Amino acid sequence: MSMPSNFPRISVVTPCYNHVQYIRWTVRSVLLQRYPNLEYIFMDGGSTDGTQDAIARYRDRFSYYVSEKDKGQSDAIHRGFLQSTGEIMAYLNSDDMLAPGALYYVAEFFRTHPDVDVLYSHRCTVDAANKSIWYWILPQHSNYLMRRWDLIPQETTFWRRRIFEKAGNIDPQYRFAMDYELFVRFMLEGKFHRADRFLGSFRQHDNAKTSQLLETVGKDEIAQVWQKYGLKSSRLDPVVSMRFFNAAMRNGARYAASGKMLPGGLAGIGWDYNELWGGMLNETRLPVVS
Amino acid sequence: MIGPHGENLAFILGLPRSGTTLLSVMLGKHHEIYVPPEPWLMLALESLGKTSPRHPANSQVIGGALQEFLGEEGMLNVARAAALEAYNSKLAQVGRPWLADKTPRYYLILPFLRKMFPAAKFIWLTRNPAAVAASYKTTWGMDLPGLLAGGGDNWAYYDLVLGPRRLLQFCREMHGAVYWIKYEDLVQNPEQHLRQLTNWIGLWPVDGLSEFNTDGATATSYAGDKKIVGTQRPHADSIDAWESVFSNEELQVLLDAVGAEVFQQSGYGKVLERFAQRGVYARTPEITQSYVDRADALLSNRWQDVAEASTPPQSAGEESLAAGARPERADVVIQHVRRELAEKETALEQAKSNAIQLNGELATLRDAYGKLLLDRNTWAEQAKHLAAVVQGYEEPTFKKLLVRAQKLAAVWVIGRPGLVAKAQRPLPKISLVTPCFNAAHTIGDAIESVRAQKYENLEYIVVDGGSTDGTQKILSDYQAAGVIAKVISEPDNGMYDAIRKGFAVATGEIFCYLNADDAFEPGGLRRVGEYFRDHPRVNLIYHEDTVQINGWLFANSRQVHCDTIELMRGYMLFQDGVFWRRGLYEVIGGASGTLRFAGDYDLWLRMSRAAKFVRRPAHVSRFRIRHGQLSSNMNKYRAEQQVIRRKFWTGLPFIAKARIRALHGVTVVKNICHVLRRRHLYFAMDLQNLPPPVTTPPPRIVDAPRCPLTGAPPDRLLFSTPDTRYGDKAINYVYYNSASGVAMAYPPRSESELTALYAEHYSNADARPIEPPEGSTSPYRKWFGGGWMDRLLFKRFYLISQLRNKNFSWNDPTVNELLSVTDPRFPWHGRRLSFLDVGCFRGELLDKLKTATDWDLAGLEPNERAVAVAREKGHKVWPASAADAPYVIPEGVSFDLIFLGQTIEHFTDPVGVMRRLRMLLAPGGAIVLSTPNLDSRQIDLFGPTWAHWHIPYHRALYSRRSIELLASQSELRMDKFVTHSHPYWSAMSLWLNEFGLAGAVPHGQSPPTRHCARAVELSQYARWFWNWRGRGDYLYAMFSPRGGQ
């Protein structure tokens, strides 16, 4: 049996506010990773819908748990990162999930690729009932594209502490594009890599912040980021970003149609994410701690 | 003819607008009297010699000269003669004896009339003066009260002021010789009054005068009331109309002018009451008198001018003077008129130019209006478009993109559009008919099997021949439950008559019939429906069926390609597996109702002429054989078949007969080859060894067995078997899904049931082989499924005897095999691997590995007793099933190698288990499994007596294809696949083959030496020919996570 000390510590921060329907899946998808050196930081913003009851049984598995009123999602993540000690860092929103074996993969990848600072993967999207609905199949990482659009699937992104310390913590001012702002800073400092697989799943549902905020504050904030870091200089940029975005979607559709499977996902659309987990997401037990 | 004193002449007097036209028209209908429309003759004659002052011949001279020439009396005579001439000439024209002259204004010349024709009849039609005045106003638009008040010189003034008075006066003077008739009375009762009138005149009484038509002279006449035109009979509508016409002031003027005494004397006292009700009262007679005086004065003034003009001048000088002055005046007048004309012409010119200008403006405005209309339409379109655009933009662009992507993905995912369309097309409706008669024992099973099909578009019709054994009760119960759509219950002329009746009411697209003895295999109808849906040009398909004997189930013999030739040779299709389209059935005219036994044969024979038969390699139905059933009817069947065949043959055209004769031999050879061809996983029914009746009831079809990998129902039955390891007698069916290559046991046993069986038997070292009793039959005893080559080898071909017993070990080969599978990847002597044995039982494998390797070993075993034993031996074992492994094995513990030795075939959900075990893999780790190989060559040889079947403990058996499927479903990649054989298992198979399925051979026993020798032989063959082809007895497969970890 492999020794736990072989694996670097991975810190995962989950900011949460009133997501009782999905929080169990999110938490279980992290804790069922069986990763031996996991630091799971749970930042609850004082949920009032029973979220705390839903995760009560997992409370002792969190390395750090706090439930108090915060100044929003990015503030919670910011404070969560301040608590973290892991060599590898990530945050997972309270409606997203990790794929089985994702943490092992990330640890192994960073071990074998010492030059890479940030790792992300394609995006697999599920709906409120955990059924897969669409994919982004992204090309090889390109800073050129990243400067022009918020294309990094945040739920699949892991990074080393060294880039975090260089580029700084997440900016609590942002409500929507805090990940993009953070990743742009990472991009300016370090090296990205896109894994040809799925590391997690993004949930699209009616109350999802992404769909609500993109049109309102989202675009403004992305524009702010561009302005702040002097990106997006060409007039063709909107065209490029839109074409890229369409291509990612189209490739996702092609991938779904091909009937092939990438690691971390099943073939096609409409499959249950819980099935990928062998039905374990809907159960209540957790692996025993050695 | 009218006499000189006015005999046969009547005058109708009255005011204008008082209804005289009506009276004259009605009277004129009498055949004896002629009533011309208003001649006005007497007025003209009365003014004889009185001409207009403007007469060019000098009116004074005319008047004076005439007066002088005729004298007073002469004038009268001339006038009378003229009148008589005029009247009589008219009467001669129309051929009537009487004439009535109706002219309203005769009131002006009443004394003259009386003088002219003293014997004439006078008829006075009176009418309420107020109504007359109202009629003036409404008909001619005259403001009569205004005229009266103004006192103008107007004939209407005379009419109203003087007319009634003079007529009244005339009546008084005539002493009642005037027939006085009231208009109001006339219109209310015309018939009666007309009769009285004609009677008074002296005419023959005639009925129907009040029915008149007015298309005659009245309509075209110069004078007279035109209102009457278009009416057919008198009406009283206008009697009281005056009240709404006049205001009180006007009525007052009217009353003043006419005079209250006139109203009263002419019989209209009641009208005065109405006046009083409206506050209009009669004033002093002086006022009336002033009106009369004025009228008289005006009238005399009128005549004054004429009289002056007609009076001869006093002297010639005056006359010449007058004559000379006139042209001078005319010049002035002409000049005046000319000036006026010029003025008018300039005004006209101006008006014309104005009109032209206005017309121009109008045209411009019209153009502008049209343009605005066009603009409005354009703008409306624009607004609509903009609204749509705005609506479109309300949806966030991002969301729209997502929706678009989802749709795209949905189209792409299910992949090829053709496949999507195929899958989405609805299944055709199947009409299933079951004929039955006194089948209470069997019909329940048949209906239950139909119910278990769960085919959504099924019409189930049961035709009962009037059963008396409770069948009808069963049928009505199922009908109430909605399983049976229609039940026809009446005596019939045999089974095929019943079928014909059933199909006559069927509405489905696909037809088939199921006897009450038979049943459907699970999922059979769905397969049929899908085939017909996907093959619209196929009209008839037939299947092999399964045969149920005493609770055992066998696959029936293979069917050949069936056509007319084959049928003519007497070939029998398995009726329960034949499905055809409604069109085919209708084309051949349906089943024959007169046949008793071979009706199906007749049906196939005729259908084969109309359509091509398609053979489907699947089991859809189950044929039940009972003792005695087969042989008793067979002879009758054959006899009837002969009759049908002969009849059919005589009806065939020459060409068809020739073709059948020519191809007969070819068909025979073809079918012999077909029967001789061997097939994998086909175990022919062993008719020599029909099984003993089972003591436990056969499993009922509740739901289809499901492939553990894909969830699809199986399509073929392989065989049925009891437990041949420990001797449990319950029958299990073994089905095969050819799509995924998985064989599965049915009915499925629950986990607890199997665990209990294991606990009972697995550790029981005293289990003995059970031989079938002497003399009894045992299915598949000494069954041999090999071909001629195998047979040769089995006859101990001399070469083989030289090579036996070489290099074969009877030891458990698992460790060696495992190490050989993993060797290239894991140099086991080089590295300390972590190893997990799933289902390690008592840790036998762990023991051996401990000695052979330096791996870090662990085990997983659900059997508590076995866990205890293994732990005693010092192994690390978790007491849990494979599915619970991720929970019971502590977090952070992962394995380089996970081994599932002969366990996967026991799982109900192998995919889920593999997905869970996958989470236990360390980076670079692998899963190795071993399981019996369904592709094994020894299955061909031993068939159902192959030792690895091991039903019901093995829930499913996998082939290479299904293992690959399992890997891809579990997100794994198959790195390596090898098969092995071991003489021990071959010996077990040989041993069981000797017993047949009625016996049992427990594992862990030493087989007899005769079997051992042949088993080694077999293993030698396996090593040479089979293992490397993937046809060894069991398989090893190694998986690693896709994409690495």
| pLDDT per position as a tens digit, B134-147 | 888 887 777 777 77
Q: Is B938 in contact with B717 (CB distance < 8 Å)?
A: no
- B893:A2 CB<8 A: yes
Contact of A281 with chain B, judged by CB distance below 8 Å, is answered with no
Q: Which of B324-333, B493-502, B621-630, B1030-1039 has the lowest mean pLDDT?
A: B324-333
Q: Which two tokens stand for residue B213?
A: 């038509």
* pLDDT given at position B315: 46
Indicate if the pLDDT at residue B860 is higher than 90: yes
* pLDDT given at position B388: 66
- B856:A1 CB<8 A: yes
Q: Is B1028 in contact with B977 (CB distance < 8 Å)?
A: no
Q: Is B732 in contact with B951 (CB distance < 8 Å)?
A: yes
Nearest residue to B816 via CA among B967, B980, B685: B980
Q: Which of A180-194, B79-93, B147-161, B506-520 has the lowest mean pLDDT?
A: B147-161
Contact of A279 with chain B, judged by CB distance below 8 Å, is answered with yes
Task: Decide the pairing of beta strands A158-160 and A88-91.
Answer: antiparallel
Q: What is the DSSP letter of A61?
A: G
Least Cα separation, residue A175 to chain B (angstroms): 17
* pLDDT given at position B289: 82
Q: State the average pLDDT over residues B892-910.
A: 90
DSSP letters of B34-99?
E--B---HHHHHHTTT---TT-TT-HHHHHHHHHHHHHHHHHHHHHHHHHHHHHHHHHHHHT-SEE
Return the number of other C-beta atoms located less than 10 Å from residue B603's C-beta. 24
Contact of A242 with chain B, judged by CB distance below 8 Å, is answered with no
Secondary structure class of B925 (helix, strand, coil): strand
B192 - beta bridge partners? none
Q: Could you tell me how many CB contacts below 8 A there are between chain A and chain B?
A: 146
Ramachandran angles phi, psi of A237, nearest 5°:
-55, -45
Q: State the average pLDDT over residues B707-724.
A: 88
Least Cα separation, residue A69 to chain B (angstroms): 31
- A257:B415 CB<8 A: yes
Strongest mean pLDDT among B8-17, B166-175, B399-408: B8-17
**Out of B398, B886, B893, whose CB is closest to A215?**
B398
Query: What is the maximal distance between C-alpha atoms in chain A?
Result: 57
Q: Name the band, by pLDDT with cuts 50, 70 and 90, for residue B701.
A: low
* pLDDT given at position B963: 95
Q: CA-CA-CA-CA torsion for A106, A110, A112, A114, nearest 10 degrees?
A: 170
Nearest residue to B580 via CA among B590, B570, B566: B590
Cis amide linkage into residue B952, ω under 30° from 0: yes
B406 chain-A contacts, CB cut-off 8 A: 133-134
Q: State the average pLDDT over residues B83-105.
A: 86
By the 10 Å C-beta count (0-12 exposed, 13-18 middle, 19+ buried), B834 is classed as: buried
- B890:A280 CB<8 A: no
Distance between CA atoms of B844 and B811, rounded to whole angstroms? 12
Task: Indicate the length of chain A as a whole number.
Answer: 290
Indicate if the pLDDT at residue B218 is higher than 60: no
Least Cα separation, residue A290 to chain B (angstroms): 5
Q: Is B512 in contact with B577 (CB distance < 8 Å)?
A: no
Indicate if the pLDDT at residue B12 is higher than 90: no
- B894:A104 CB<8 A: yes
DSSP letters of B468-513?
-SSHHHHHHHHHHTTS-SEEEES--SSHHHHHHHHHHH---SEEEE
**Position B1044: which residue type?**
G
**Out of B402, B883, B1045, whose CB is closest to A108?**
B1045
Q: State the average pLDDT over residues B676-685.
A: 80
Percentage of residues in chain B having pLDDT higher than 70: 88
Q: Is B931 in contact with B904 (CB distance < 8 Å)?
A: yes
Q: Name the band, by pLDDT with cuts 50, 70 and 90, for residue B367.
A: confident
Q: Which two tokens stand for residue A239?
A: 């065209």
- A266:B894 CB<8 A: no
Q: Which two tokens stand for residue B207?
A: 């009925």
Distance between CA atoms of B59 and B49, rounded to whole angstroms? 8
- A276:B971 CB<8 A: yes
Distance between CA atoms of B743 and B706, rounded to whole angstroms? 10
Indicate if the pLDDT at residue B782 is higher than 80: yes
To the nearest 10 degrees (0 to 180), the angle between helices B285-310 and B59-94 is 100
Indicate if the pLDDT at residue B273 is higher than 50: yes
Task: Decide the pairing of beta strands B834-838 and B742-746.
Answer: unpaired
Q: Is B551 in contact with B647 (CB distance < 8 Å)?
A: no
Average pLDDT, chain B: 82
* pLDDT given at position B317: 44
Least Cα separation, residue A28 to chain B (angstroms): 12
Distance between CA atoms of A134 and A257, rounded to whole angstroms? 11
Distance between CA atoms of A102 and A117, rounded to whole angstroms? 17
* pLDDT given at position B505: 93
Least Cα separation, residue B752 to chain A (angstroms): 21
B894 chain-A contacts, CB cut-off 8 A: 1-2, 34, 36, 104
Question: Element (H or E) spanning B383, and its range?
Answer: helix B316-394
Nearest residue to B474 via CA among B436, B515, B520, B504: B436
Q: State the average pLDDT over residues A250-265.
A: 84
Q: Which two tokens stand for residue B145?
A: 């009260």
> Tokens 């409404």 appear where?
B138
Ramachandran angles phi, psi of B489, nearest 5°:
-130, 100
Distance between CA atoms of B492 and B436, rounded to whole angstroms? 10
Q: Which of A245-249, B239-243, B507-511, B602-606 has the lowest mean pLDDT?
A: B239-243
Q: State the average pLDDT over residues B377-396.
A: 68
Least Cα separation, residue B851 to chain A (angstroms): 18
* pLDDT given at position B65: 84
Q: State the average pLDDT over residues B766-775.
A: 78
Least Cα separation, residue A248 to chain B (angstroms): 10
* pLDDT given at position B267: 80
Q: Name the band, by pLDDT with cuts 50, 70 and 90, for residue A119.
A: very high
By the 10 Å C-beta count (0-12 exposed, 13-18 middle, 19+ buried), B246 is classed as: buried
Non-local CB neighbours of B882 within 8 Å, separated by 6+ positions: B838, B839, B860, B900, B903, B907, B913, B916, B917
Question: Element (H or E) spanning B896, and its range?
Answer: strand B895-901
Indicate if the pLDDT at residue B327 is higher than 60: no
* pLDDT given at position B819: 87
B856 - beta bridge partners? B834
Instruction: Please give the radius of gyration of chain A, using alpha carbons only, rounded to the nearest integer.
Output: 18
Q: Name the band, by pLDDT with cuts 50, 70 and 90, for residue B414.
A: very low
Task: Indicate the length of chain B as a whole number.
Answer: 1045
* pLDDT given at position B415: 42
Alpha helices in B652-787 (DSSP H): 654-676, 751-761
Q: Is A274 in contact with A132 (CB distance < 8 Å)?
A: no
Q: State the average pLDDT over residues B101-118.
A: 85
* pLDDT given at position B127: 86
Indicate if the pLDDT at residue B412 is higher than 60: no
Q: Which of residues 2-61 of A touch B (CB under 8 A)?
A: 2, 4, 32-37
Q: State the average pLDDT over residues B96-120.
A: 85
Strongest mean pLDDT among A243-252, B235-244, B538-547: B538-547
* pLDDT given at position B396: 57
**Position A22: which residue type?**
Y
Strongest mean pLDDT among B56-65, B739-748, B829-838: B739-748
Indicate if the pLDDT at residue B418 is higher than 70: no
B1044 chain-A contacts, CB cut-off 8 A: 105, 108, 263
Q: Is B844 in contact with B862 (CB distance < 8 Å)?
A: no
Contact of A247 with chain B, judged by CB distance below 8 Å, is answered with no
pLDDT tens for each residue of B441-467:
888 888 988 988 888 899 999 999 888
B882 to chain A: closest CA residue: A278
What's the Cα-to-Cα distance from B24 to each of A270, B89, B218, B509, rounded to whole Å? 102, 20, 10, 88
DSSP letters of B101-125?
EE-GGGGGGHHHHHHH-TTSEEEEE
- A245:B401 CB<8 A: yes
* pLDDT given at position B422: 44
* pLDDT given at position A247: 85
Q: Which of A102-116, B237-251, B255-269, B787-801 has the lowest mean pLDDT?
A: B787-801
* pLDDT given at position B309: 55
DSSP letters of B753-782?
HHHHHHHHHTT-TT---BPPPTT---TTTT
Non-local CB neighbours of B930 within 8 Å, separated by 6+ positions: B814, B817, B818, B899, B900, B901, B902, B1034, B1035, B1036, B1037
* pLDDT given at position B244: 78
Indicate if the pLDDT at residue B484 is higher than 80: yes
Average pLDDT, chain A: 87
Q: State the average pLDDT over residues A265-280.
A: 86
Q: Name the band, by pLDDT with cuts 50, 70 and 90, for residue B219.
A: low
Contact of A128 with chain B, judged by CB distance below 8 Å, is answered with no
pTM over 0.80: no
Indicate if the pLDDT at residue B210 is higher than 80: no
pLDDT tens for each residue of A52-83:
888 898 999 899 999 888 888 899 999 999 99
Indicate if the pLDDT at residue B1 is higher than 80: no
Q: Which two tokens stand for residue B679?
A: 């097939």
Q: What is the DSSP letter of B189?
A: S
Q: How many CA within 13 A on the CB side of residue B931?
A: 28
> Tokens 């705005």 appear where?
B390
To the nearest 10 degrees (0 to 180), the angle between helices B983-995 and B1009-1021 is 120
